[in-house]
Amino acid sequence: MQLIAQYFFDISIMEKAIPFLLRGLVTTLLIAVLVVVLGLSLGLALACLRSYQKRLPNLLILAFIDIFRSIPELVLLIVAYFALPEFGISMPGFVVVVLVLSLVMAAFTEEIFWSGITSVQRGQWEAGRSTGLNFTQVLFSIVLLQAVQMVIPPLTNKTISITKSTALASVISVSELLNQASSQQALYANPTPLTLAALLYLLIFLPFVIFSRFIEGRYAVKR
C-alpha cells in the first residue's frame, strides 16, 4: 500500500510537476479544439460537396477519406513529421498534429455527415424542389439540418475519440499533457506525473463526455 502511494501518488512530486502538466494541458486542449472545429467543418463541407454527385470531386473525396480512414493516426503523424521534411516540407510538431488529426477527423466525419444526408427521405427533396427551390437551397434549408440531427450520436463519439488521440502528439515532441508527464516522470524516476496526467484527462474529458450525452438527448430527432 505504501509502495503504491510512493510510486503513483507522491504528493511532493505532484506539487513540483503540476505547473508543467497544466501547461501541457493547455496545449492538449488547444489541439483538441482546433482539430474538432477544423475536422468537423471540413467533413461537413466535403459531405455537402459530395451530395452534388459530380464525378471528379466525388472520386477525389472518396480517395481522401478512404486513405485517411485506413492509415493509423500514429503512422500519419510520424510520416508527416519525420518523412515530409525529406521532401522539403518541414512543419513544427504542433502544426503537424493539428493538420493530421484534422484531416483524419474530416475523413471520418465526412462519412458520418454523408450517411445523414442520404438518410433524409427523398420526399423532403421532392417537396423542396416542387416549390421551385434549387438543389443548393434544398440541401442547406431543408436537408442538412435534419441530416446533422440524425448523426449527432456518431459525431460526438468520433469527437471524443479524436480528442483523446491528441496524446499521440507526444511522440513527435509536442509539449502537450502526456509529453510533459513523460518528461516529468523521467526527471523524478517516478510514475506519479503519469497518474496526475490521467487524472487531468479525466477531469477535462469526462465532463465533455457527459456533455455530449446531454447534446445527444437535446437534439435527438423528434418522431
> What is the DSSP track for 46-104?
HHHHHHT--HHHHHHHHHHHHHHHHS-HHHHHHIIIIIGGGGT----HHHHHHHHHHHH
Work out whether the CA dihedral 50, 68, 180, 84 comes out positive or negative. Answer: negative
Shortest distance (Å) from residue 141 CB to another protein: 6
* Positions 82 through 121 that interact with another protein (CB under 8 A): 121
Nearest 5 degrees, angle CA 7-CA 8-CA 11? 95
Among the residue ranges 62-70, 126-134, 186-194, 204-212, the one whose residues contact another protein (CB under 8 A): 126-134
Q: Which stretch binds another protein (CB under 8 A): 16-24, 30-38, 136-144, 194-202?
A: 136-144
Is 134 among the residues that bind another protein (CB under 8 A)?
A: yes
CA 221/CA 148 separation, integer angstroms: 10
Q: How far is the CB of 98 from another protein (least distance, A)?
A: 33
Alpha-carbon torsion angle 14, 15, 16, 17, nearest 10: 40
Alpha-carbon span 111 to 92, nearest angstrom: 29
Q: Which amino acid is at 134?
A: N
Q: Which three cell numbers stand for residue 196?
A: 496526475
The only residue of 58, 115, 146, 183 in contact with another protein, by rule CB under 8 A? 146
215 scored as a contact of another protein (CB under 8 A): no
Question: Does the footprint of another protein cover residue 131 (CB under 8 A)?
Answer: yes
- Residue range at the interface with another protein (CB under 8 A); choices 71-79, 144-152, 172-180, 185-193: 144-152
Question: Which residue in 15, 130, 189, 210 binds another protein (CB under 8 A)?
Answer: 130
**Residue 142 in contact with another protein, rule: CB under 8 A:** yes
- How open is the CA angle 90-94-96, to the nearest 5 degrees? 50
Contact with another protein (CB under 8 A): which of 60, 145, 199, 206? 145
The site that binds another protein (CB under 8 A) totals a number of residues, namely 20
Query: What residues make contact with another protein under the rule CB under 8 A?
Result: 121, 123-124, 126-134, 137, 141-142, 145-146, 149, 222-223
